[in-house]
Amino acid sequence: MKPPRGRREASAGSALRDGRPARVIRHGLARVLSKRGLCSRTEAARWVGDGRVSVDGRIVRDPEAPTLPDARIAIDGVAAVAARRCYIALHKPRGLVTTTRDEQGRDTVYRCLDGAGLPWLAPVGRLDKGSEGLLLLGNDPAWAAAITDPATGPSKTYHVQVDALPDETLPGALVRGVEVDGELLRAQAARVLRVGQKNAWLELVLDEGRNRHIRRLLAAFDVGVLRLVRVAIGDLALGDLPKGAWRELTADEIAAFVPPSATVRPSARPARGRSG
């Protein structure tokens, strides 16, 4: 049976291992470009389709063309050398969308990175337009996958301003959860932070992230959200990072999200940041 399109195993000319040819795994060209940290897979597919990408000196127009990870690839004649690995934490302001390109022309989180001289970065997970707080970006697909994996990824902590004065039963009800549109929505942990005259602040911890999870969960209890701020991902806290500012993660912060067996390649440059 042939391997699926976009992934091939080649043994001809491969180094011998235990007396047998070693298997060489090929992936789709767009995926190889993306894994080099140069662009998203979607953008890579667009470049390939436009005839801008060559492999070993030949133009390739099929984004799924089987390609060796270390193939000699060029974009517009310029060698597509793997970008330095970069991992940053951004304090996302409310009103920006978490996407590389918005079809409606809305401002994106990349406005906060304008002129920073960073390599291409992709958001790790999402924060919707009306939410704010800690957002990670990077160009290491394996690292991002470890964070966004619903089974093993880290929990996320949110501070939520609500338009109601919660009674003592609400935190427990949020943890037990409720079915909304056929989905069981719940919090891993919940507590009341402080109560004002007309509104209150809650802390919710999620170990999964469904679409508009917190807003839908609270709405089921007739509680509206005024502000939603993500304050931590795992043990990484937003801290005092100013709104719209970013900083590069330290090697220890990067490694905290990676399984022990994985290799971490932190930035070769010292951590720095910028206020947006």
Tell me, what amino acid is at 257?
F
**CA-to-CA distance for 63 and 6, rounded, in angstroms?**
8
Tell me, what amino acid is at 64?
E
Q: Give the DSSP letter string of 237-260.
A: E-TTPPTT-EEEPPHHHHHTTS-T
Quote the DSSP letter at residue 2.
P
Find all residues with CB under 8 Å of 96, minimum gap 6, and list them: 106, 107, 108, 109, 111, 112, 129
Spot the catalytic one: 128, 163, 181, 235: 128
Write out the two tokens for 21.
């040819």
128 is catalytic: yes
The catalytic site residues sit at: 128
